[in-house]
């Protein structure tokens, strides 16, 4: 990857070529379980009566508000501003009843210019699976329209859980934007990322332009839980990644619950030994019926980089022993569905916008193709149904993953 970066910095045209991939899948796997379509934002916007945009007066806000660590009862809301004094967040019910106004705290953080400030507000005391509206205020005056969000469902929730996952999402090129537009056609409530979030090097400017600048609308309404990739680690070993996101635990590897699903994100750019120990305890401590793990480098892959055998050796037995049903990874810029290994489903989803690369097949390959895509899955009762959707909006693969 180093040589690619070098070519990019020397030759802009080479860089742009590297961004482009196949927008449309030329082959299909299993298309017998098409996803239900619908906007992920429509209900939230209708409830709060607004799109949630920045107001024209909010010239001081350089990064629009976004949700982090959304749980059953709380959330963090972050933004970047040049005028930190007097800023707060107002929480209302959809009918307008004001529940609280919480002050904002400025935190030391990577920012693009010296006058920018990273702000965070913690909101507590919320109820599970409930729609609220927030807006950022300055001296009591709104800087944003009302922005709708829904808290996480509780562990005993029986409604389906809907998740968007993608990886290797690009440097702001047209493929990334085409796929981002298609994401607005499936009704997810939670976003996970399999790493390489900010191309090329995980700098603060690349997070602003290629991440927050692209997914602004999604991030202000919906929680985002990324795993770090090798590109994110190219600047200060991932310090900007950990600054712009406020993730649980060490922020390098962490877990959280969403309804009946326990999610764990690993950091393949840090030594795996301590994570193996942590993950074994973390999975053993969860009594939830569903366990999903995601990480950047793939334990199984037939793509350009191929399987990371060290990770496979360290982690695959652990996944099987603790009843993990699904493992998602990225790094290879393709889609690959692996034949279940010891009862565990593995998916490579590394086609989020940074070009595509040819993918081969291996004895463990169930279906593979090199296409710009995201995956979307619904967890409902005893089954999970995963859909792979390309940058034209066409579903080209699906798979049913049983709970047991
Ligand atoms: Fe990577």
Domain with residue 128: its CATH number is 2.60.40.380
Say whether both 209 and 243 belong to one domain.
Answer: yes
Would 2 be classed as within a structural domain?
Answer: no
Q: How much distance in Å is there from the Cα of 335 to the middle of ligand 1?
A: 14
Please tell me the distance between residue 188's alpha carbon and the centre of ligand 1 in angstroms: 25
21: CA distance to ligand 1 center in Å? 16
Same domain, 166 and 28: yes
In a domain, 50, yes or no: yes
- Whether 243 and 362 map to the same domain: the answer is yes
- Distance in Å, CA 269 to ligand 1 centroid: 10
Q: What is the DSSP letter of 212?
A: I
- Rounded to the nearest angstrom, the distance between the alpha carbon of 233 and the centre of ligand 1 is 10
Residue at which a domain ends, from 115, 131, 150: 150
The count of other CB atoms within 10 Å of the CB of residue 278 is 17
Phi, psi of 150 (to 5 degrees): -125, 130
Dihedral-angle region of residue 316 (phi above 0 means left; psi in -120 to 50 means alpha; beta otherwise) = alpha
Q: Any idea how long the chain is?
A: 404
Task: Say yes or no: 53 and 112 in one domain.
Answer: yes
Structural tokens at position 386: 């995963």
190 C-alpha to ligand 1 centroid (Å)? 22
Neighbours of 22 (CB within 10 A): 18
Q: Are residues 84 and 218 part of one domain?
A: no
Distance 174 CA to ligand 1 centre (A): 20
Written as one string, the DSSP assignment of 237-250 is: GGHHHHHH---STT
d(CA 64, CA 143): 10
Ligand 1 centre to CA of 344 (Å) is 23
For residues 258 and 114, state if they share a domain: no
Query: What distance in angstroms lies between residue 132's CA and the mean position of ligand 1's atoms?
Result: 36
Regarding whether 375 and 351 lie in a shared domain, the answer is yes
Burial per residue of 61-88, b for 16 or more beta-carbon CB atoms within 10 angstroms, e otherwise? bbbbbbbbbbbbeebbbbbbbeebeebb
Average pLDDT of adjacent 10-residue blocks, the chain of 404 residues = 39 51 95 95 98 97 98 98 96 98 96 97 98 97 98 97 97 96 98 98 98 98 98 97 96 97 98 98 98 98 98 98 98 98 98 97 98 98 98 98 94
Tell me whether residue 11 is in a domain.
no
Q: For residue 292, how far is its CA from the centre of ligand 1 (angstroms)? A: 20
CA distance 47 to 51: 10
How far is 244 from 110, CA to CA, in rounded Å? 7
Asked if residue 195 is part of any domain, the answer here is yes
- 159 and 243 in a common domain: yes
Ligand 1 centre to CA of 331 (Å) is 4
Residues 77 and 223 placed together within one structural domain of the fold: no
Final residue in a domain of this structure, among 150, 175, 209: 150
| Cα-based distances in Å from 286 to 81, 295, 310 | 39, 19, 26
Report the alpha-carbon distance of residue 138 to residue 54 in Å, rounded: 13
3 in a structural domain: no
State the distance from the centre of ligand 1 to the C-alpha of 278, rounded, in angstroms. Answer: 23
CA of 238 to the centre of ligand 1 (A): 13
Q: Is residue 266 domain-shared with residue 142, that is, in the same domain? A: no
- The Å distance, Cα 373 to ligand 1 centre, comes to 16
CA 108 to ligand 1 center in whole angstroms: 28
Distances (CA, A) of 111 to 176, 204, 226: 24, 6, 19
- On whether residue 12 sits in a domain, the answer given is no
**Residue 8 maps to a domain:** no
- Residue 359 lies in domain: 19-37+154-402
Please name the residue that has the structure tokens 């089954």. 383
Q: What domain count does the chain have? A: 2
Q: Does residue 49 fall inside a structural domain?
A: yes
Pair (166, 288) in one structural domain: yes
Cis peptide, bond prior to residue 164, ω within 30 of zero: no
CATH number reported for the structural domain that contains residue 387 in this entry: 3.60.21.10
State in Å: Cα 297 to ligand 1 middle: 7
Task: Select from 311, 353, 354, 343 the least CA-distant residue to 329.
Answer: 311
- Ion ligand 1 residues within 5 Å by Cβ: 196, 229-230, 331
Shared domain for 268 and 313, answered yes or no, is: yes
Give me 356's structure tokens: 């595509």
End residue of a domain, out of 134, 150, 166: 150
Q: How far does the centroid of ligand 1 lie from the alpha carbon of residue 319, in Å?
A: 22
């Amino acid at each position: 990857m180093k040589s690619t970066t070098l070519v990019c910095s020397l030759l802009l045209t080479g860089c742009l070529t590297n961004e482009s991939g196949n927008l449309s899948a030329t082959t299909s796997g299993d298309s017998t379980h098409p996803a239900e379509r619908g906007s992920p934002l429509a209900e939230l916007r209708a409830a709060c009566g607004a799109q949630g945009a920045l107001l024209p007066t909010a010239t001081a806000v350089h990064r629009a508000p976004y949700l982090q660590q959304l749980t059953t009862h709380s959330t963090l809301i972050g933004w970047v501003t040049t005028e930190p004094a007097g800023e707060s967040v107002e929480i209302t019910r959809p009918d307008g009843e004001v529940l609280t106004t919480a002050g904002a705290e400025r935190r030391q953080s990577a920012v693009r210019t010296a006058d920018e400030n990273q702000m965070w507000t913690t909101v507590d005391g919320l109820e599970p699976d409930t729609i609220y509206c927030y807006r950022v205020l300055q001296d009591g005056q709104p800087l944003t329209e009302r922005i709708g969000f829904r808290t996480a469902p509780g562990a005993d929730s029986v409604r389906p859980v809907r998740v968007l996952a993608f990886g290797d999402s690009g440097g702001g090129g047209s493929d990334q934007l085409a796929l981002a537009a298609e994401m607005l056609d499936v009704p997810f409530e939670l976003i996970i990322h399999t790493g390489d979030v900010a191309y090329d090097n995980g700098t603060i400017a690349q997070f602003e332009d290629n991440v927050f600048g692209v997914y602004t609308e999604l991030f202000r309404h919906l929680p985002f839980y990324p795993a770090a990739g090798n590109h994110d680690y190219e600047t200060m070993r991932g310090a900007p990644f950990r600054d712009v996101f406020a993730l649980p635990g060490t922020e390098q590897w962490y877990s959280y619950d969403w309804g009946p699903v326990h999610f764990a994100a690993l950091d393949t750019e840090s030594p795996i030994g301590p994570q193996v120990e942590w993950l074994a305890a973390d999975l053993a401590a969860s009594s939830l019926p569903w366990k999903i793990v995601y990480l950047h480098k793939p334990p199984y892959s037939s793509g350009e980089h191929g399987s990371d055998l060290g990770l496979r050796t360290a982690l695959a037995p652990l996944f099987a022993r603790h009843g993990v049903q699904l493992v998602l990874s990225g790094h290879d810029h393709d889609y690959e569905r692996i034949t279940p290994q010891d009862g565990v489903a593995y998916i490579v989803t590394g086609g989020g916008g940074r070009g595509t690369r040819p993918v081969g097949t291996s004895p463990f390959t169930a279906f593979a193709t090199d296409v710009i895509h995201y995956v979307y899955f619904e967890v409902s009762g005893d089954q999970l149904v995963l859909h792979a959707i390309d940058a034209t909006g066409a579903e080209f693969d699906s798979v049913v993953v049983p709970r047991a």
